[in-house]
């Protein structure tokens, strides 16, 4: 079982859409996938129309593995289940701090899922605190959406230093361009220059800003489902191939 985390310290960069679309694409290939919606806003859960059980609160999930089992629900797609966000996930930071061995807690929580899933995709909350640290430790690959702007470059570098301070391997961190608008000069330049400059490895497939992806919220379906031939969906597919290779999963 491999763990892929979608992480961004900034909101609105296409992180949740990427998590949803990548998870769906993997499942379509027959990879048994669990999407873990840790973002209290619950956008990923919303896309899949799944509500959390009332009792699946963050405190219970952290203390009881059986709770985790019961909190997982099927999506409408084969091979794809989700652990939906519960409103209590807003307290995730505090709850995690309250338990022993907080930093490795998430990794241990996921361990029993090895029997049922080949891949766990985590949609992380936009924080750079204990939760992020726990996710970084649990993940085999931390994938960071980067909108091609100057500010994003600085944020990415901050994250790289954070990884270094925590003693995490740099290979675990990977960036991809998100919300790319090729009509903008700046975007085209950044696409060209940033991967060369940055100490963080970049995926080669940028995800374009796309009306189809924006429409995901209306139809509440992954773009790879309702418009599989759209530029957005095809970009996701190429990104998935790169991620799959980076995770060392079979073609």
- Comparison of 74 and 98: residue with beta carbon closer to other proteins: 74
Strand-by-strand arrangement of the 33-37 sheet? 73-74, 80-83, 33-37, 119-123, 2-6, 141-146, 173-177, 201-202
Q: Angle at which helices 185-197 and 150-165 pack, to 10 degrees?
A: 20
- Comparison of 51 and 65: residue with beta carbon closer to other proteins: 51
- Least Å from the CB of residue 78 to other proteins: 11
- Comparison of 73 and 215: residue with beta carbon closer to other proteins: 73
- Least Å from the CB of residue 136 to other proteins: 28
80: phi then psi, degrees, rounded to nearest 5: -125, 115
Residue 133 to residue 214: CA distance in whole angstroms: 30
- Comparison of 64 and 76: residue with beta carbon closer to other proteins: 76
- Least Å from the CB of residue 237 to other proteins: 24
Q: Exposed, middle or buried, 176 (CB in 10 Å: 0-12/13-18/19+)?
A: buried
- Least Å from the CB of residue 181 to other proteins: 32
- Least Å from the CB of residue 85 to other proteins: 14
- Least Å from the CB of residue 53 to other proteins: 8
Q: Which of 144, 119, 111 is nearest to 247 (CA)?
A: 119
Q: Where are the alpha helices (DSSP H) in the chain?
A: 15-28, 43-47, 58-63, 65-71, 92-98, 102-110, 130-138, 150-165, 185-197, 211-214, 216-219, 223-226, 231-246
- Comparison of 51 and 90: residue with beta carbon closer to other proteins: 51
- Comparison of 53 and 199: residue with beta carbon closer to other proteins: 53
| Binding interface with other proteins (CB under 8 A) | 48-51, 53, 70-74, 76, 81, 220
């Amino acid at each position: 079982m491999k763990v892929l985390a979608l992480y961004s310290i900034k909101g609105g960069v296409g992180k949740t859409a990427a998590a949803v679309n990548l998870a769906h694409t993997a499942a379509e290939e027959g990879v048994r996938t669990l999407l873990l919606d840790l973002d209290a806003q619950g956008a990923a859960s919303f896309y899949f129309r799944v509500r959390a059980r009332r009792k699946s609160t963050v405190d219970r999930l952290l203390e009881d593995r059986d709770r985790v089992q019961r909190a997982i629900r099927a999506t409408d797609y084969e091979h794809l289940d989700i652990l939906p966000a519960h409103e209590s996930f807003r307290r995730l930071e505090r709850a995690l701090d309250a338990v022993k061995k907080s930093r490795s807690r998430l990794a241990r929580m996921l361990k029993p899922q090895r029997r049922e899933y080949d891949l766990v995709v985590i949609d992380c909350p936009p924080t750079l605190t204990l939760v992020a640290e726990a996710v970084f430790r649990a993940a085999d690959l931390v994938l960071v959406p980067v909108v091609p702007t100057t500010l994003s470059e600085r944020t990415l570098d901050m994250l790289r230093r954070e990884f270094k301070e925590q003693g995490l391997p740099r290979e675990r961190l990977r960036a991809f361009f998100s919300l790319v608008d090729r009509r903008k000069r700046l975007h085209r330049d950044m696409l060209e220059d940033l991967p060369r400059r940055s100490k963080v490895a970049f995926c080669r497939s940028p995800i374009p800003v796309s009306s189809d992806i924006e429409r995901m919220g209306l139809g509440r379906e992954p773009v790879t489902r309702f418009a599989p031939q759209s530029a957005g969906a095809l970009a996701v597919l190429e990104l998935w191939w790169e991620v799959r290779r980076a995770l060392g999963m079979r073609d």
